Amino acid sequence: MREKKKVKKVEIRAFSPKVDLFFSILIALFAISCLIPFIFVIIISLTGESALTANGYSFFPKEWSFEAYKYIFSGNMSAKIVRSFGVTIFVTVVGTIVNATITSLYAYAISRNNFPFKRFFTLFALITMLFVPGMVANYLVMSNLLQLKDTIWALILPLALGPFNILVMRTFFRKNVPDSIIESARIDGASELKIFVRIVLPLAVPGIATISLFAALGYWNDWFNALLYIQNDNLIPLQYLLMKIQNNLDYLAQNAGMSAQVSGGLAALPSESARMAIVVISTLPIAITYPFFQKYFVGGLTIGGVKE
């Protein structure tokens, strides 16, 4: 007699409509609370400096003004911002491609069981995450050894590879690219490069999108490498230029009492609203880009969270 297999019924418990409504409202309130600070920053950047001085910060200012943006984009500053914006976009796009390519190749190699040096290169990546050589060593390598000072590559190569992204992609390859697929492709005569391009990469889109977002955020917000290696005004990225504008505003505000004439001229400077305008200019582009990566980003962060 054939043994009858017992089929376990899995009960799916659904919440009641009232509970669903409660949690929907709760999540909506949480989402709004995340947006409120950025909306508040935009409102302050559009508030007149005199209204800020008299009434402080408010969601409903008595005076609306574009003076902060006019000051930032006035005269030669407008051309500098446009040029710096182009430099930042170029560095972010090229740097993200370089970072995703090198990270994926490195992580794929150490994720395969048949790679004889996978333990060595995994420990090598971990060591670089735990022990940082320091700023002086990095500066000497970039400036004296590689001769990359005052070049666009000085903004790209320092962030071209990171141990955290390597470990994320290594976990992703081990969880989502089984050895059986690789072995079957080898039996069919596919080379390692063809296997990686035709089979591995299509399966690794969520992981690559995740590390690409991390890399893009790092390149977009980077100003420290420009401070160390860039002296050419044509290669200054946006974040570094905005930081210089902010420092100039702070310097002028601190020395406003040097003379009555200078003080009168500086009183009209939109220092507070300009600070917020700088935040908006530097944050808005990357905030608009993020939703396009969100579904891949969530899937990439939950790699390894569910065990089979």
Q: Determine the 3-state secondary structure of 47 from DSSP.
A: strand
Q: Does residue 205 sit within a domain?
A: yes
pLDDT of residue 92: 92
Q: Give CA–CA dist 44/280, Å, rounded.
A: 10
Domain that holds residue 295: 67-301
pLDDT < 70 stretches in the chain = 1-15, 75, 251-270, 293-308
Q: Does residue 212 sit within a domain?
A: yes
Q: Give CA–CA dist 263/89, Å, rounded.
A: 38
- Lookup: tokens for 162: 């990171």
Q: Give CA–CA dist 225/139, Å, rounded.
A: 9
Q: Does residue 52 sit within a domain?
A: no
Give yes or no for a contact between 169 and 107, defined as CB atoms under 8 angstroms apart: yes
Q: Give CA–CA dist 54/123, Å, rounded.
A: 59
pLDDT of residue 42: 87
The CATH number assigned to the domain holding 106 equals 1.10.3720.10
Q: Determine the 3-state secondary structure of 161 from DSSP.
A: coil
Q: How many domains are there within the chain?
A: 1
pLDDT of residue 1: 42
Angle CA 97–232–250, to nearest 5: 100
Q: Does residue 8 sit within a domain?
A: no
Helices (H), the chain: 17-45, 49-55, 67-72, 76-111, 118-130, 135-140, 163-176, 179-187, 192-195, 201-203, 205-221, 224-229, 238-254, 260-266, 271-301
What residue type is 98 in one-letter code? V
Cα dihedral 119→122→127→130 (10° resolution)? -130
